[in-house]
Amino acid sequence: MKFKLLFFALAPLALAGAIAAAPEVVESVQAKTVQPAFKPTRFSVEVRGSGPDVILIPGLASSRDIWDESVAAVPGYRYHLIQVGGFAGEPIGANARGPIVAPLADEIARYIEAKGLKKPALVGHSMGGTLAMMVAARHPDLAGKVMVIDMYPQPAGLLGSSSASVRGLAESLRGITSTPDGRALVASVIEMFAPPRKDDSRSDSDVVARATHELALLDLTPELDDIEAPLTVVYASPQPAQSPTLHRSFQQAYANAEDPKLVRIENSGHMIMFDQPQRFRSVLRDFLKG
């Protein structure tokens, strides 16, 4: 009987203490579970449309607006248009120093996870194709399908060379922006291959030089068999006479990949979306539907 009286006397005090402590417990749990929203430091993203997710990655020194006409012509998807920091007037951000290419791929993977995208399609042109392959190979659970546009697993292949043969050129690029003449040279190359389209913004010559250096020495061939997503490789053939040689070249380059689909675009230079827009949009539409 005394025990029961003691219990009923102390119970209200215990309950009051628990109620008083509850806000602190809730605040503690919230502090542990609420995380700040992810914000990319190496690129920005513009989202257009609605439907299945598609990530579009432009090439070296290029702007996201290279995709404008294609996005308008192939509706029904939620496009995530990436703009790399330091390219085409985009603020440099974390690309101001250190490696560029691999950290970009890692941050694209973080973007996919942070936004809760379910197996998005990855479409990349040139250096963007390299980034798409890196994401798919190193984070195979994140990619739904991959389209690489006019790029080899070993980027030096675009010059008809191997990484070893262009190493001297690549090493010289590391310091090319240390002099006014070097910066002017890079700026002229940027303007030749990726001229401004919507405004007069130019790419940062140091970021372009460092990214080019990394690409020249990169070889993703050993990682191709890590790509689990269906892989489509679209490549340009400037002249019909070159087609057989180019076909063999791309076949050999992607031999380590699992059943890659090779699509040749005739009478086109490197910027396929501009040189053969109707053909490119048809290929993109088929790829996204497949």
List the one residue out of 273, 286, 254, 279 whose CA is nearest residue 56: 273
What mean pLDDT is predicted for residues 173-178? Answer: 58
What mean pLDDT is predicted for residues 112-125? Answer: 98
pLDDT number for residue 83:
97
Question: pTM here?
Answer: 0.81
pLDDT number for residue 156:
84
* Residue 35 in this model has a pLDDT that exceeds 90: no
Contacts of 221 (CB under 8 A, 6+ apart): 153, 154, 253, 256
* Residue 5 in this model has a pLDDT that exceeds 50: no
pLDDT number for residue 216:
87
The pLDDT tens digits for 77-88 are 999 999 999 999
pLDDT > 90 fraction of the chain, expressed in percent and rounded: 64
176 band by pLDDT with thresholds 50, 70 and 90: low
241 or 71, greater pLDDT: 71
What mean pLDDT is predicted for residues 149-178? Answer: 69
> For 112-126, 132-146, 161-175, 263-277, which range has the lowest pLDDT when averaged over its residues?
161-175
* Residue 9 in this model has a pLDDT that exceeds 50: no
DSSP the chain: -HHHHHHHHHHHHHHHHHHHHHHHHHHHHHHHH--PPP--SSEEEEEES-SSEEEEE--TT--GGGGHHHHHHS-SSEEEEEEETTSTT---GGGGSS--HHHHHHHHHHHHHHTT--S-EEEEETHHHHHHHHHHHHSTTT-SEEEEES--SSGGGGGT--TTTTHHHHHHHTTGGGSHHHHHHHHHHHHHHS--SSSS----HHHHHHHHHHHHH---GGGGGG--S-EEEEEEESSGGGHHHHHHHHHHHTTTSSSPEEEEEES--S-HHHHSHHHHHHHHHHHHH-
Mean pLDDT of the chain: 84
Distance CA 272, CA 121 (A): 19
Domain 43-289 has CATH 3.40.50.2000: no
pLDDT number for residue 186:
59
The pLDDT tens digits for 180-232 are 666 566 555 555 555 555 544 688 988 988 898 899 889 999 999 999 999 99
**Tokens found for residue 121:** 């399609």
160 band by pLDDT with thresholds 50, 70 and 90: low
pLDDT number for residue 157:
78
